[in-house]
Structure 1
Amino acid sequence: MSGFGRLWALVGMAAVAGLASGCAPVVLGAAGGTAVVAASEHRGLSGFASDTEIKARINHLWFQHSLDMHSRIGLTVDQGRVLLTGRATDAQMRLDAVRLCWQVEGVKEVINEIQVDTDSGIMDSARDTWITTQLRTKLTFDSQIHSQNFSIDTVNGVVYLMGLATHQGELDRVIEHARTLPNVQRVVNYARVL
């Protein structure tokens, strides 16, 4: 079996293990394949599997606690670092989301960027999704950026970046692309340089 075939077999086993343990299912599509290859590039398979398991366990706890929390809070995991974004309905939801993260083994850091926001509507969410889509497209077509190594989340016009850059120049390009997009209020960088 080729290295790529073994990689997909491992991903499949991780998904089945997640289902068997009661965790939220892991779904990978065509874009997921790119993320898997990128993960093996910088974190190795064990790092990718560990982050995937952490994310699944947090999602499971959130889902058990509150369906509203599960749908309103964004979650990115990179090397045990957990970035929380999104719009909580109140301060208690924000605190509960963080508290539940710390219950999962392997979590090394929780970065809480959750906003308490009861006024946002469909138009705000659509604008944020459009910003993320535009940035993802710019990164994908920039030959000097390994776009698959970056996670992007946008909340109320604030772009949150997480992941690994191969060098400072690459990270600077990613941040500059984000800053130049219409409707971006600011860019918050949690990405690191290898």
Structure 2
Amino acid sequence: MRSFTHLRFVPLVFLLATAPLLNGCVGLAVGAGAAVGVAAAEERGAKNAANDKGIQLLINDKYLKDNQYLWRKLSITVVEGRVLLTGVVGTEFSRDEATRLAWAASDRIQEVINEVQVTNSGDLLDSANDSWITTQLRAKIATDKNIVDINYSIETVNGTIYLIGLAQSDDEIQRVTEHARIIKGVRRVVSHVWLKTDPRRRPV
């Protein structure tokens, strides 16, 4: 299961037109009362969530127009202007191009974190197992009363879990990481989570 901030297969215009109908798409407030409620409950707030969604859609559209290979292969997650790219491509050139096009999509981007994996074949991706890993981790942190799970986005690629979001404390980050590490099939856990008190945080 891709994280709820991941949209890949729909052109920008269609996404904007149908945004109120999309389950789980946080931050597009117009006509989406439930989504607004979820966004408001996040540490980043509804306004930043909406702006992050806009950045995500712009990158998605940039890939669609300029490089459909990347559009098909990559996942885009955005938290307070920090863009996390995940997926699998066949060459280092494609990996670098993913970063370049992402930066070109919006002047609101504060950081591009490229965690795209390069293999000899861009098709080497165990999607079913990765989805199951993500589902298990999402369930584990949702039932841990010491974790505000809504603040975390999760992507799993070939057994590697990538985390991004905002944590209440170092202890919370540690708890999420420990939950992730004990899931069968997980090879490693990469965290790009910031504390909510991190001085690097900026409004989008």
TM-score (normalised: structure 1):
0.80
Q: Does 1:111 align with 2:105?
A: no
What is the match of residue 29 of structure 1? 23
- What is the distance in 1 between the residues matched to 2:95 and 2:150? 29
Partner of 1:78 in structure 2? 79
What do residues 154-178 of structure 1 show as CA deviations (whole Å, max 9, x unaligned)?
1111100000111222211111100
Q: Which residue of 2 aligns with 1:66?
A: 67
For 1:154, give the aligned amino acid: T
1:28 is matched by which residue type in structure 2?
L
Deviations, residues 51-105 of structure 1 (Å, cap 9, x unaligned): 0110000000011123221121111100111111110122222111110111112
CA distance 1:44–1:165, shift in 2 (3 Å) = same
**Which amino acid is 1:171 matched to?**
I
Count residues with an aligned counterpart: 176
Q: Percent identity?
A: 40
Rounded Cα–Cα distance in structure 1 between residues aligned with 2:16 and 2:66: 14
Give me the whole-angstrom Cα distance separating, in 2, the residues matched to 1:113 and 1:84. 6
User: How many angstroms does 1:120 deviate by?
Assistant: 6.4
Point out the more displaced range, 110-119 or 153-162: 110-119
| Higher RCO, 1 vs 2 (CA within 8 Å, ≥6 residues apart) | 2
Identify unmatched segments of 5+ residues in structure 2: 1-11, 27-32, 197-204
Aligned to 1:93: 94
Shift of 1:141: 1.6
Contact (CA 8 Å) 2:59, 2:102: kept in 1 or not? yes
Q: CA deviation at 1:38?
A: 4.4
1:141 aligns with 2:158: no
Asked if 1:175 corresponds to 2:177, the answer is: yes
The answer to whether the Cα contact below 8 Å between 1:161 and 1:191 also exists between their aligned partners in 2 is: yes
Deviation at 1:191, TM superposition (A): 0.7
Give the match for residue 131 of structure 1.
133
CA contact (8 A) 2:84 2:115 kept: yes
Deviations 1:115-169 (A, max 9, x none): 1124465771211111111111111122221111100001111100000111222
Q: Name the amino acid aligned to 2:40.
A: S
- Aligned residue in 2 for 1:156: 158
DSSP 3-state at the match of 1:37: helix
Aligned to 1:102: 103
> Greater helix share, 1 or 2?
1
- Alpha carbons of 1:69 and 1:30: their partners in 2 closer, same or farther (altered >3 Å)? closer
Q: Counterpart of 1:191 in 2: which secondary structure?
A: strand
Q: 1:24 to 1:97 in 2, by over 3 A?
A: farther
In structure 1, the residue matched to 2:40 is 40
**TM-score with structure 2 length normalisation?**
0.77
